[in-house]
A and B are shown apart, each in its own frame.
Chain A
Amino acid sequence: MVVYGHAQPTTPWSPATGSLRPRLQSAVIPDDSTDTTVATVVGKPFSVIDEFNSWRKQPELAEAVAAIRALAAVIRNCEATTMMELEIELKKASDSLKSGDTTSISLTAGCDLFMRYVTRTSALEYEDFDSAKSRLIERAEKFGEISCKARRIIAMLSQDFIFDGCTILVHGFSRVVFEVLKTAAQSKKLFRVFCTEGRPDRSGLRLSNELAKLDVPVKLLIDSAVAYTMDEVDMVFVGADGVVESGGIINMMGTFQIALVAHSMNKPVYVAAESYKFARLYPLDQKDMVPALCPIDFGVPIPSKVEVETSARDYTPPQYLTLLFTDLGVLTPSVVSDELIQLYL
């Protein structure tokens, strides 16, 4: 956790200013004299980073949602008196959040979308700043709510696509996909799951553990066995780190490979992604993205002359994806750009 600022507290929060405060208090040991939770940034009684971190403490909450909530709190606690000032505050807060993790596409996308959604012109037509501000807060809360509930909506939408006796191939540990499978299992559907190992971060192992707890038949594969088993698979379910404007997705390394194999064998590839992951990026090829590196532990020392490809993500072009399950509905890849254009209108 990053702690900024001075030791002496500024005006303590009253619970009335926001529902977030009590939570924050409970999360961190309150200390009136050296109230680190109200550490200041530039003399402000509020740190967006802290807010963000406190939200992130919830294991289920996605990074972008925590950021959105934090930004909503920024608006609430902002002391600006004009719209411009408020926007500048928001921009600063958003930038500081983004700088915390430059490789996370969903964080960047979530912040950008929040800014666009909240500051759309309708809110700015009010003469009175306070009413405009309350309107902004309303929109921000709404956006936060939608983002929180996104996973449940996606899980509900995708239930129709999982039929009894189907075999699903999943890659990496996506909480959205896990929610989808959990909901299906809880509604007593009979299906089995093939989990890829998901090297280098072994996320597949974690997922298989979780699924086993739900009594879902799981089979673990090494990443190279995907083409071997693709015959038995009915559909492929993946999550996404980010959905780009072309309709393609950026996801854990290996997704493109699986999508290629599935496409050549005519198996549908479904992507479960929340709508705040829609980013205004447009990669033309694999190298056209911001690199995100992840060290790989091979178990044996690698001689220094040998180069290792440590990229953690790849880009899957839209022609290999069948459908996107989002909280906006079940979409085809070409709708992503439509939504983004409408939002940025």
Chain B
Amino acid sequence: MDARRATTTVPRVRQVGFFTPNAPPAQPSRTHSFPLDSSSPPLSNSPVNSSLSPVMIPPSRHLSDNLVHRATSPLPVPEPSAFRRHHVAVVGSYNPTESLLGSSPPLASPSSRVIGDGEFSEESSAGWFRRSNSAKFASSFSGAFDLTSVKSSETGGFHQVKKPVVAQPKEEKSGAAAVVEPQINKGLSSSSTKPLKEKTTKAERRALQEAQRAAKAAAKDMTVSVGVSTSKPVKQQPAQKKDAPPPASSIAVSDRKGVERSMEKERRKDIPAPRMQFDDKSRVEKAKKRAVVNQSEARNRVELFRHLPQYEHGTQLPDLESKFFQLDPMHPAVYKVGLQYLAGDISGGNARCIAMLQAFQEVIKDYSTPPEKSLTRDLTAKISSFVSFFTECRPLSMSMGNTIRFLKSRIAKLPLTFSESEAKASLCADIDRFINEKIVLADNVIIRHAVTKIMDGDVLLTYGSSCVVEMILLYAHELGKQFRVVIVDSRPKLKGQALLRRLVGKGLSCTYTHINAVSYIMHEVTRVFLGSSSVLSNGTVYSRVGTACVAMVAHAFHVPVLICCEAYKFHERVLLDSICSNELGDPDALTKVPGRMDINYLDDLTNKDNMQLLNLMYDATPSEYVSMIITDYGMIPPTSVPVIVREYGREYLWI
């Protein structure tokens, strides 16, 4: 259901069963109390205040439900005084309701969420009418209320927050009272026959909920009557009730929905968007439908990592390649880069970022604003669609996320006076400047800082193949420093071999070993240089799997660990382990050794249920194993990463 989508900062508690309208979830006693007799004051005055808190914004969907219900439920003929009393408790300062409704107890309402319009009348009526059972008279009464409130809302507008709309509705209500009368009469007769106890039945409540949901769906189509009549078995709604409210309700519904949505949007801005969790089936299904790349999910997946996407590798490439000329919305440069990601031709944070930015430059150059659309919005939408394509090819790295945020902020900050060509030129220039300042020049600064830490006679250890570390070693060698390098490598990627080849070609003396020998070799090492994919706010270094192992062994041997990372890769997230956020690679790569056909022991076992292959791509190194982080802002301790993010984060977004 869309319940999750609609969540805002305040968790919306889905109240099942009967509850008084606007009653905060902290009032469990209220939910089941709906004293029918007017004497008992189920609605104490205390909850009123809380019910008035602007935090409890009811979802709009129930608005229509309520309206519908209210409209259809027979209006009770309660004693106005009695009803009013209770009503007051519920609504708070909303006096008019009191006068109108009297003291009928707020029977209903359990699931009927408070109507979004914040009209007290609405709310109270919602409370009243909640359906089901019997409280017919109450519900019908609330139906009357609805009428009035609807009217007032139409006339006076409404707010989401519970602001007492005192003046207007009062008159309306009194005016509507007459209209209500016949309904009340009708409802009363029908409802008075129902016993009170029925309301608390779970089945009824569930039915009520179902009815509401259906009503909401119906309301969406603006065919209120159909939905209501079919979905509410319990309710005895006289058909003619629907006629009056529907036209009013539909307008009210749409209005309320609009207001509520804008409020929700603002609230949503404060919360970071939830990451796609791949163990949620419905979302995965939805994402698949929008996907360009047809990914087939892998079969045997490790339970702990089900929240990460895992696809069959190698199956999409031929399919995508054949589609090259058919994907109209896709730009060829983007497509090309996506294919390169998929095939693994481009790897390494900086390379991926630069390739992506250059593809976007091409996109911007070829872009022309469609008629009737604004450049910023349309271009942002296009970029977002390309980004989701990249994500399907290969999940984004954190630095790519930062880069995309930068690009979107630049697009958003384009002055409106710019013509299209000026805007395009400005964006391309911004991208060029980003690549130059944040990656190329940053690397130069890092290299200059890092070589001051290399002395003659040093033995430097590095893991895998980081482009920055390679540049540092080559530069130090050029400066004439005497040192030797130990390259630690690991399967299945064996990236260190390419680094070894390049370093040996330049004349450095190197030692090559695998990660299982790192503790054996560590006693000879004087410094460890590591690259990283990202550094997080708590100083945790997120990098190629195996880095944490090397850093820990180095720490145990009291060897300083230096992380070389450009500042644009810093992220304000905090990671505590390698599980929450990671990337799953191709599991078949674990079972196969390139060049050795005879090592095929696991070939027939991969499909067994009790055999699961896990190929993680990243891991998280805790900050206590890191001695220093070398960035383009200088050499900083890992505890200062949030300082950099705080001080320089704004600046780089504005450039």
A342 to B648, CA, bound (A): 10
Q: How far is the CB of A260 from chain B (nearest CB, A)?
A: 13
Do A282 and B635 touch (CB < 8 A)?
yes
Is A246 interfacial (CB-CB < 8 Å)?
yes
A344 to B633, CA, bound (A): 9
Q: How far is the CB of A256 from chain B (nearest CB, A)?
A: 13
Q: How far is the CB of B616 from chain A (nearest CB, A)?
A: 30
Contacts of A245 in B (CB 8 A): 634-637
Q: Which of B560, B636, B643, B647 contacts A284 (CB 8 A)?
A: B560
Do B643 and A337 touch (CB < 8 A)?
yes
Type the 1/0 row for B59-76, where 1 means its CB is closer than 8 Å to any CB of A: 000000000000000000
Contacts of A287 in B (CB 8 A): 455
Q: Which of A280, A282, A318, A345 contacts B647 (CB 8 A)?
A: A345
Contacts of B562 in A (CB 8 A): 284
Q: How far is the CB of A331 from chain B (nearest CB, A)?
A: 12
Chain A interfacial residues counted at CB < 8 A:
17
Q: How far is the CB of B538 from chain A (nearest CB, A)?
A: 12
Residue of B628, B639, B644, B647 contacting most chain A CB atoms (<10 Å): B639
Q: How far is the CB of A279 from chain B (nearest CB, A)?
A: 12
Closest to B633 in A: A341
Q: How far is the CB of A108 from chain B (nearest CB, A)?
A: 15
Q: Which of A246, A288, A334, A342 contacts B453 (CB 8 A)?
A: A288
Type the 1/0 row for B621-655, where 1 means its CB is closer than 8 Å to any CB of A: 00000011000011111011001100100000000
Do A334 and B639 touch (CB < 8 A)?
yes
Q: Which of B455, B628, B633, B644 contacts A246 (CB 8 A)?
A: B628
Contacts of B636 in A (CB 8 A): 245, 337, 341
Q: How far is the CB of B22 from chain A (nearest CB, A)?
A: 47
A344 to B637, CA, bound (A): 16
Contacts of A284 in B (CB 8 A): 453, 527, 560, 562, 627-628
Closest to A338 in B: B643
Contacts of B633 in A (CB 8 A): 341
Do B627 and A337 touch (CB < 8 A)?
no
A318 to B637, CA, bound (A): 10
A246 to B150, CA, bound (A): 65
Type the 1/0 row for A68-85, where 1 means its CB is closer than 8 Å to any CB of B: 000000000000000000
Q: How far is the CB of B631 from chain A (nearest CB, A)?
A: 11
Contacts of B453 in A (CB 8 A): 284, 288
Is A247 interfacial (CB-CB < 8 Å)?
yes
Contacts of A307 in B (CB 8 A): none
Residues of A contacting B: mostly: loop
A98 to B55, CA, bound (A): 62
Task: For chain A, residues 203 to 253, give those with C-beta under 8 angstroms from any C-beta of chain B.
Answer: 245-247
A338 to B639, CA, bound (A): 9
A344 to B644, CA, bound (A): 11
Closest to B561 in A: A284
A288 to B643, CA, bound (A): 25
Q: How far is the CB of A177 from chain B (nearest CB, A)?
A: 25
A282 to B631, CA, bound (A): 13
A110 to B627, CA, bound (A): 25
Do B627 and A334 touch (CB < 8 A)?
no
Do B647 and A341 touch (CB < 8 A)?
yes
Is A285 interfacial (CB-CB < 8 Å)?
yes
Do B640 and A280 touch (CB < 8 A)?
no
Do A341 and B527 touch (CB < 8 A)?
no
A288 to B639, CA, bound (A): 21
Contacts of A282 in B (CB 8 A): 628, 635, 637
Q: How far is the CB of B519 from chain A (nearest CB, A)?
A: 20
Contacts of B635 in A (CB 8 A): 245, 282
A287 to B457, CA, bound (A): 13
Type the 1/0 row for A241-282, where 1 means its CB is closer than 8 Å to any CB of B: 000011100000000000000000000000000000000101
Known contacts A246-B628, A284-B453, A284-B560; A334/B634 CB under 8 A: no
For chain B, the bracket of interface size reads: 10 to 19
A280 to B635, CA, bound (A): 9
Known contacts A284-B627, A284-B628, A288-B453; A246/B637 CB under 8 A: yes
Contacts of A345 in B (CB 8 A): 647
Q: How far is the CB of B174 from chain A (nearest CB, A)?
A: 65
Q: How far is the CB of B555 from chain A (nearest CB, A)?
A: 12
Do B527 and A334 touch (CB < 8 A)?
no
Do B637 and A337 touch (CB < 8 A)?
yes
Contacts of B644 in A (CB 8 A): 341
Type the 1/0 row for B449-460, where 1 means its CB is closer than 8 Å to any CB of A: 000010100000
A243 to B520, CA, bound (A): 35
Residue of A280, A318, A337, A345 contacting most chain B CB atoms (<10 Å): A337
A338 to B453, CA, bound (A): 22
A316 to B350, CA, bound (A): 36
Q: How far is the CB of B449 from chain A (nearest CB, A)?
A: 9
Closest to B637 in A: A246
Task: For chain B, residues 395 to 432, give those with C-beta under 8 angstroms from any C-beta of chain A.
Answer: none
Closest to B639 in A: A334
Do A334 and B560 touch (CB < 8 A)?
no
Contacts of A247 in B (CB 8 A): 637, 639
Q: How far is the CB of B547 from chain A (nearest CB, A)?
A: 19
A245 to B640, CA, bound (A): 10
Do B634 and A280 touch (CB < 8 A)?
yes
Do A342 and B647 touch (CB < 8 A)?
yes
Contacts of B637 in A (CB 8 A): 245-247, 282, 318, 334, 337
Residue of B453, B455, B527, B637 contacting most chain A CB atoms (<10 Å): B637
Q: How far is the CB of B632 from chain A (nearest CB, A)?
A: 13
A282 to B639, CA, bound (A): 14
Do B560 and A337 touch (CB < 8 A)?
no
Q: How far is the CB of B446 from chain A (nearest CB, A)?
A: 14
A162 to B343, CA, bound (A): 65
Q: How far is the CB of A231 from chain B (nearest CB, A)?
A: 27
Q: Which of A285, A288, A337 contacts B640 (CB 8 A)?
A: A337
Q: How far is the CB of B445 from chain A (nearest CB, A)?
A: 13
Closest to B624 in A: A319
Contacts of A341 in B (CB 8 A): 633-634, 636, 640, 643-644, 647
Closest to A317 in B: B627
Q: How far is the CB of A321 from chain B (nearest CB, A)?
A: 13
Contacts of B640 in A (CB 8 A): 334, 337-338, 341
Contacts of A246 in B (CB 8 A): 627-628, 637
A169 to B56, CA, bound (A): 60
Contacts of B560 in A (CB 8 A): 284-285
Q: How far is the CB of B540 from chain A (nearest CB, A)?
A: 15
Q: How far is the CB of A192 from chain B (nearest CB, A)?
A: 35
Known contacts A280-B634, A284-B453, A345-B647; A337/B639 CB under 8 A: yes
Task: For chain A, residues 267 to 316, give those with C-beta under 8 angstroms from any C-beta of chain B.
Answer: 280, 282, 284-285, 287-288
A88 to B634, CA, bound (A): 24
Contacts of A288 in B (CB 8 A): 453
A225 to B453, CA, bound (A): 35
A345 to B455, CA, bound (A): 29
A338 to B646, CA, bound (A): 11
Q: How far is the CB of B489 from chain A (nearest CB, A)?
A: 25
Q: How far is the CB of B325 from chain A (nearest CB, A)?
A: 51
Closest to B449 in A: A282
Contacts of B634 in A (CB 8 A): 245, 280, 341, 344
Q: How far is the CB of A323 from chain B (nearest CB, A)?
A: 15
Q: How far is the CB of B452 from chain A (nearest CB, A)?
A: 9
Closest to A287 in B: B455
6 contacts between A and B (CB under 8 A): A245-B634, A282-B628, A284-B453, A284-B527, A318-B637, A334-B639
- Cβ-closest 7 pairs across A and B: A334-B639, A337-B640, A284-B560, A282-B635, A246-B637, A338-B643, A341-B643
Contacts beyond the supplied A280-B634, A284-B453, A337-B636: 19 A-B pairs with Cβ under 8 Å: A246-B627, A246-B637, A247-B637, A282-B628, A282-B635, A282-B637, A284-B560, A284-B562, A284-B627, A284-B628, A318-B637, A334-B637, A334-B639, A334-B640, A338-B640, A338-B643, A341-B644, A342-B643, A342-B647
Residues of B within 8 A of A (CB): 453, 455, 527, 560, 562, 627-628, 633-637, 639-640, 643-644, 647
